[in-house]
Amino acid sequence: MPSPATTPELIDRIRKSGLVAPSDLHTFLADPRSDPGSGSSRHILDRLTEVHLITKFQADRLAAGKYKGFVLGSYTILDRLGAGGMGQVFLAEHAAMRRFVALKVLPGNVCEDDIARERFLREARAAATLDHPNIVRVYDMNREGKLLYLVMEYVEGVSLQALVEKDGRRSAAAAASYAQQVALGLQHAHERGHVHRDIKPGNLLVDRAGVAKLLDLGLVRSESDGDSKLTSQLGGARTILGTVDYLAPEQALDSSNVDIRADIYSLGATLYFLLAGHPVFPEGRAGQKLMWQQWRDPAPIDTVRPDVPDALAAIVHRALAKKREERFQTPQEMADALGRWVGGLVPPDGRLIVAPPNRPFLGRSAPSSGSSRSSMRLPAPPPSENGATPHPASKLTLSGPASGVVQLDGDPSPEQATPRVLAEATVEDDRPRRRSSAATARIAEPAPTSRKALLLVAAISGLTVGLLFVVVAALLFALGIIRT
């Protein structure tokens, strides 16, 4: 679909997209700064992004003429996080729970391929058996039309690949910490019969606290699948799965029959990358690297990085042994060896982590003072039925599912002054209140239900007093105290 040619056409597509509630869009357009007649289509989209009614990703899609595909099941797509051979990964928000998740989507055309679909299902089944702090959790798998998608834990972090590319090689303590955490996650997977087969810096995330997490089980091999021969079906016996720079020698020869020691080799190559700042074989074409993985040893890490202790260098090269019998035999064994160099979690530079888009009612703290986000001051609310208008210095009581009750004195902050917030706010005027005489009369006057109760009590009381009087009179007459 072509890009919208006019502003009214853009507004129409925004309405069709369902991204902005009609009441919010109406309030937004009533703001003079958002007047469709005073700005271009891009101006409207930029303003919607500034006030957090849509995200930049959504704005770019709308500008390109797209208004479908923003909603997948119960989730609203906010951004695109990445793509791979097994589909794309999106940041999404659950419509009701207001929680960020990552959606891994297998496109419809790929989903029709039996092998690709079975591999996607294998990833989902493997993930269902795993629950470990160093493995990204998978919550659910769903189908929407021809699309299959996994609902995964969203990690606000950075991949080890990007971390080294943007901030340089890691210290010995940081590299050991990340590698040990990944080894512990691999041990958990190993105990449940899984081999990852694609351990590499790009598949490892570290969050703001320094917790490393393993993701992407798209190439996992599970003992529970038996002799499925799924790998060979992808392209015959010569099929190679994995990433060349981190591929174990035996995996390059037969990817169908590898065990956990192939993952240990890949983890050793990842640790080398963290310390050296480049892969074990930084030069050469893919075919050359595959051959070198078979017979050529990488440059010793302590020559590339002289400050790396000899004992840590020995751990790296033991994990990179060509013969799997000479490597660590389990991830736990490698994790124990690395323990000597780990002093705790090592958080990355927070500036390297892209924060998710600000969304109303997620209970997130306001951005730093350096943020360039601007506020949108909305038109004054219409007068109430009795002609009164809320005071400009009213107090807003905002109820959010994550943050409980937040009270703001005066104007809301730029992040909270959105149409959705104002529409759902309870306005409490701080000025002294003077009730009219009619209002006072209504409060003093009993309700209809109260009047009925009072009449019933009075009737019962009168009947009781009358009966008591009759009984006492009869008793006095019988005793001769009263004579006729």
Query: What is the pLDDT at residue 395?
Result: 30
Give residue 29's pLDDT: 85
Q: Which residue has the higher pLDDT, 468 or 300?
A: 300
Rounded distance between C-alpha atoms, residue 255 and residue 119, angstroms: 14
Average pLDDT over residues 357-382: 43
Task: Report residue 136: phi and psi, to 5°.
Answer: -65, 125
Structure confidence at residue 232 (pLDDT): 47
Mean pLDDT of 206-230: 74
Q: What is the pLDDT of residue 259?
A: 93
pLDDT digits (tens, 9 = 90+) for 285-312: 999 999 999 999 999 999 999 999 999 9
Residue reference for tokens 């991949």? 159
Q: Are 171 and 128 in contact (CB under 8 A)?
A: no
In the prediction, which pLDDT does 477 show?
67
pLDDT tops 60 at residue 361: no
Measuring CA to CA, which residue among 279, 259, 282 is closest to residue 268? Answer: 279
pLDDT exceeds 80 at position 208: yes
Rounded Cα distance between 367 and 309, Å, is 41
d(CA 391, CA 384): 12
Give the pLDDT score at 388: 38
Highest mean pLDDT among 19-28, 40-49, 143-152, 263-272 belongs to: 263-272
What mean pLDDT is predicted for residues 337-356? 94
Catalytic residues: 198
Q: pLDDT tens for residues 433-458?
A: 344 333 333 333 444 454 566 667 67
Local confidence band at 267 (pLDDT 50, 70, 90 cut-offs): very high
pLDDT of residue 109: 67
Burial of 462 (0-12, 13-18, 19+ CB in 10 A): exposed
Average pLDDT for the chain: 77
Q: Dihedral sign, CA of 459, 460, 464, 465?
A: negative
Tokens of 289: 């690297």
Which two tokens mark 402? Answer: 């994550």
Intra-chain end-to-end CA distance of the chain, in Å: 109
Q: How confident is the model at residue 360 (pLDDT cuts 50, 70, 90)?
A: low
